Amino acid sequence: MTVFTHHFDPTVLREYDIRGIIGETLRPEDAFAIGRCFGSLVARAGGSKVAVGYDGRLSSPDLEPQLVAGLRACGLQVLRVGLVATPMLYFAAYQLGTDGAVMVTGSHNPPNYNGFKMMLGKKPFFGAQIQEIGRMAAEGDVVPVATEGSDEKVDILEDYVARVLRDYDGGDRKLKVVWDPGNGSGSEVTKALAGKLPGEHTVINGDVDGTFPNHHPDPTVAKNLEQLIAEVAKQGADLGIAFDGDADRIGVVDNEGHILFGDQLLVVLARDVLKSKPGGTIIADVKASQVLFDEVAKAGGNPLMWKTGHSLIKAKMAETGSPLAGEMSGHIFFADKWYGFDDAPYSAVRLLGIVARLSTSLAAVRAALPQVINTPELRFNCEETRKFEVVKEVKERLAAAGARVQDVDGVRVLTEDGWWLLRASNTQAVLVARCEASSEAGLERLKAQLSEQIQASGLAVPDFSGANAGH
Has residue 254 been placed in a domain? yes
Domain contains 6: no
Q: Work out the mean pLDDT of the chain and round it to a whole number.
A: 95
Give me the half-sphere count of Cα atoms (radius 13 Å) on the Cβ side of residue 69: 11
- pLDDT band, residue 468 (cuts 50/70/90): low
Question: In degrees, to the nearest 5, what angle opens at C-alpha 161 toward C-alphas 156 and 167?
Answer: 135
Helix (H) or strand (E) holding 136: helix 128-139
- Of 132, 154, 176, the position where a domain reaches its end is 154
Helices (H) and strands (E) in the chain, counts: 14, 23
Q: Is 340 helix (H, G, I), strand (E, B) or coil?
A: coil
Terminal CA-CA length for the chain: 62
pTM of the complete model beyond 0.85 = yes
Residue 16 is predicted with a pLDDT of 87
pLDDT of 470 strictly over 90: no
pLDDT digits (tens, 9 = 90+) for 364-398: 999 999 999 999 888 889 998 899 999 999 999 99
Residue 89 lies in a domain: yes
- Which residues are paired to 412 by β-bridges? 406, 421
Is the CB of residue 221 less than 8 Å from the CB of residue 196?
no
Q: 352 and 217: one domain?
A: yes
The bridge status of strand 411-414 relative to strand 176-180 is unpaired
pLDDT tens, residue by residue, 234-248:
999 999 999 999 999
Look at residue 429 in the predicted model and tell me its pLDDT.
86
Percentage of the chain lying above the pLDDT 90 cut = 91
Count of C-beta atoms within a 10 Å radius of residue 422? 23
100 with 145, same domain: the answer is: yes
Give yes or no for residue 1 having a pLDDT over 70. no
User: Is 174 in the same domain as 62?
Assistant: no
82 vs 60, 123, 190, 239, 354, CA distance in Å? 10, 21, 16, 30, 32
Inside any domain, residue 449: yes
**Using an 8 Å Cβ cutoff, are 306 and 453 in contact?**
no
> What integer is the mean pLDDT of 161-186?
97
11 located within any domain = no
pLDDT at 14 over 70: yes
**Has residue 114 been placed in a domain?**
yes
How many domains are there within the chain? 3
CATH of the domain at 164: 3.40.120.10
Q: Are residues 313 and 423 in the same domain?
A: no
| Together in a domain, 168 and 296 | yes
| pLDDT at 146 (0 to 100) | 81
Mean pLDDT of 400-412: 95
How many CB atoms are closer than 10 A to CB 154?
A: 17
Write out the catalytic residue numbers.
107
The CATH number covering residue 393 comes to 3.30.310.50
Residues 409-459 pLDDT 10s: 999 999 999 999 999 988 788 999 999 999 999 999 999 999 999 999 999
Residues 78 and 95 in one domain: yes
Question: pLDDT tens, 262-297?
Answer: 999 999 999 999 999 999 999 999 999 999 999 999
Q: Are 255 and 231 in contact (CB under 8 A)?
A: no
Residue-number span of the structural domain to which 395 is assigned: 373-470
Which pLDDT score, from 0 to 100, does residue 466 have?
A: 60
pLDDT at 377: 85
pLDDT in tens, 109-158: 899 999 999 999 999 999 999 999 999 999 999 999 889 999 999 999 99
Residue 312 and residue 206 share a domain: yes
Query: Is 87 found in the same domain as 179?
Result: no
Largest CA distance in the chain: 70
One domain for residues 350 and 465: no
**Residue that finishes a domain, picked among 339, 368, 397:** 368
For residue 422, the cross-strand partners are 411, 433
Least confident of 219-223, 251-255, 362-366: 219-223
The answer on pLDDT for 106 being more than 60 is: yes
pLDDT above 60: residue 175: yes
Any domain includes 8: no
Asked if 123 and 218 sit in the same domain, the reply is no
Quick check: is 207 in a domain? Answer: yes
Q: Where are the beta strands (DSSP E) in 238-375?
A: 239-243, 250-254, 259-260, 281-285, 302-306, 324-326, 332-334, 373-374
How does residue 322 score in pLDDT terms, banded at 50, 70 and 90? very high
Domain end, chosen from 106, 134, 154, is at 154
Clarify whether residues 313 and 389 are in a common domain: no
Same domain, 431 and 445: yes
- What pLDDT band is residue 159 in, cutting at 50, 70 and 90? very high
